[in-house]
A = this chain, B = another copy of it.
Amino acid sequence: MTRWPLPEPMALALQEAQAAADSGEVPIGAVIVKDGRVIATGRNAPRERHDPTSHAEIEAIRAAARLLGNERLEGCELWVTLEPCAMCAGAIAHARIGRVYYAASDPKGGAVEHGARVFEHPQCLHRPEVYAGIGEAQAAQMLRGFFQAKR
């Protein structure tokens, strides 16, 4: 539960998640921060883009790497509204992202603190610092609302 104003990057990630919901996609959003500034955003859009890899984190990482002209995002932070899945955790490691902040944890599909625990194996060549829970209540409420409306 968050009792203080949300940090700007997480507030922006939640806006991206809402934009995903408005397009009929599962509401998940992400932003990349470098040197205190937001340099890229992404939202979940696999149906709209006909792309199973179009998760919020992947879209944000690809946009940031394109912007920087470098496949490594050293010194960057990723803020995302849900615990990353195995695909996204792998991408975070490949991109050499320094810190990951995620809002809600995802026992059903997460791969950071659940399931594959991608960062915890020697095969993971880069392990970011991970901080969980900032914005959890808002992110979880948005997901619940989305799936309730779908029924």
Q: How many copies does the complex hold?
A: 2
B54, B95, B116: the one contacting A52 at CB < 8 Å is B95
Whether the pair B124, A94 counts as a contact (CB closer than 8 A) is no
Interface size bucket, A side?
Answer: 35 or more
- CB-CB < 8 A to A82: which residues of B? none
Shortest 6 CB-CB contacts between residues of A and residues of B: A87-B90, A115-B123, A86-B90, A115-B121, A116-B116, A52-B95
Interface-located stretch among A6-14, A16-24, A70-78, A139-147: A70-78
Whether the pair B50, A61 counts as a contact (CB closer than 8 A) is no
Minimal beta-carbon separation of A30 from chain B (angstroms) = 13
B58, B70, B86, B95: the one contacting A111 at CB < 8 Å is B86
A114 to B118, CA, bound (A): 11
Nearest residue, chain B, Cβ from A106: B123
Query: Contact flags (1/0) for A55-85 with B, using CB distance below 8 Å?
Result: 0001001100110111111000000000001
- CB-CB < 8 A to A47: which residues of B? 71
Which of A53, A111, A117 lies at the interface centre, i.e. has the most chain B CB atoms within 10 A of its CB? A53
Nearest residue, chain B, Cβ from A83: B123
A6 to B98, CA, bound (A): 42
Nearest residue, chain B, Cβ from A123: B115
CB<8 Å pairs between A and B, sample of 17: A47-B71, A51-B62, A51-B66, A52-B61, A53-B62, A53-B91, A53-B94, A54-B71, A85-B94, A86-B90, A86-B123, A111-B121, A114-B121, A114-B123, A115-B124, A116-B116, A116-B118
